[in-house]
């Protein structure tokens, strides 16, 4: 059957996360598209929040709405980034959505673009490897690396403070 996130008992979830965070330095949570009331506590307790979307107008509008919501929770902008997946990379532009349009639609938000590279993704999938371990996709690897580096800042800050990270 299908899992109903709306019926998730938050006290059980947070007890499990507390145990996990005692063991691991970084905890990555992939949340459902629809945010339930218990998600607020997860977001408030996170060192870094990546909100993902794709490179199209409806997705960027949804991202803007989620960023506004995070702001209403008083979550500091330096803890939040938008990752725009499937970014079109063209030599002379010409796409419907431009990077500058995305950035202006998400003011005050760190925006990270991850290019669309179907060939590199298919090659990695067929080889059973992560994209970072595959032969091609140099630009895609660079984009994914920038996301990891942004996340690492929280890890470094917490490590220097002697704390563990939940991301």
Tens digit of pLDDT for each residue in 4-62? Answer: 777 777 888 888 888 888 888 777 777 777 788 788 888 888 888 889 998 888 999 99
Q: Is the separation of the CB atoms in 31 and 58 below 8 Å?
A: no
Q: What is the pLDDT of residue 73?
A: 93
User: Across residues 137-159, what is the average pLDDT?
Assistant: 82
Q: Which two tokens stand for residue 20?
A: 């996990």
Choose between 109 and 93: higher pLDDT: 109
Give the confidence band of 161 by pLDDT, cuts at 50, 70, 90: low
User: What sections of the chain are H helices per DSSP?
Assistant: 10-23, 37-44, 57-72, 99-105, 118-127, 138-160
Q: What is the pLDDT of residue 165?
A: 47
33 by Cβ neighbours in 10 Å (0-12 / 13-18 / 19+) ranks as exposed
Read off the pTM: 0.78
Q: Which two tokens stand for residue 160?
A: 């220097």
Predicted confidence (pLDDT) at residue 135 exceeds the cutoff of 80: no
Distance CA 3, CA 6 (A): 9
Predicted confidence (pLDDT) at residue 143 exceeds the cutoff of 50: yes
Q: Is the separation of the CB atoms in 85 and 114 below 8 Å?
A: yes
Q: Which residues contact 119 (CB under 8 A, 6 or more apart)?
A: 136, 137
Give the confidence band of 163 by pLDDT, cuts at 50, 70, 90: low
Q: Which residues contact 166 (CB under 8 A, 6 or more apart)?
A: 17, 21, 26, 27, 29, 45, 46, 47
Q: What is the pLDDT of residue 113?
A: 93
User: What sections of 48-137 are H helices per DSSP?
Assistant: 57-72, 99-105, 118-127
User: Across residues 131-138, what is the average pLDDT?
Assistant: 80
Distance CA 117, CA 139 (A): 8
Give the confidence band of 109 by pLDDT, cuts at 50, 70, 90: very high
Choose between 67 and 26: higher pLDDT: 67
């Amino acid at each position: 059957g299908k899992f109903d996130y709306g019926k998730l008992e938050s006290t059980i979830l947070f007890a499990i996360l507390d145990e996990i965070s005692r063991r691991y330095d970084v905890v990555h949570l992939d949340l459902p598209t629809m945010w339930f009331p218990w998600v607020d506590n997860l977001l408030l307790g996170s060192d870094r929040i990546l909100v993902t979307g794709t490179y199209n107008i409806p997705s960027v509008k949804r991202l803007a709405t989620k960023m506004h919501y995070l702001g209403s929770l008083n979550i500091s902008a330096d803890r939040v980034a938008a990752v725009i997946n499937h970014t079109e990379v063209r030599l002379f532009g010409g796409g419907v959505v431009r990077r500058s349009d995305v950035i202006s639609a998400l003011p005050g938000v760190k925006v990270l673009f991850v290019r669309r590279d179907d060939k590199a993704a298919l090659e990695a999938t067929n080889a059973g490897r992560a994209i970072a371990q595959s032969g091609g996709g140099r630009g895609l690897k660079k984009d994914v690396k920038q996301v990891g580096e942004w996340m690492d800042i929280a890890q470094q800050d917490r490590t220097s403070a002697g704390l563990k990270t939940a991301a």
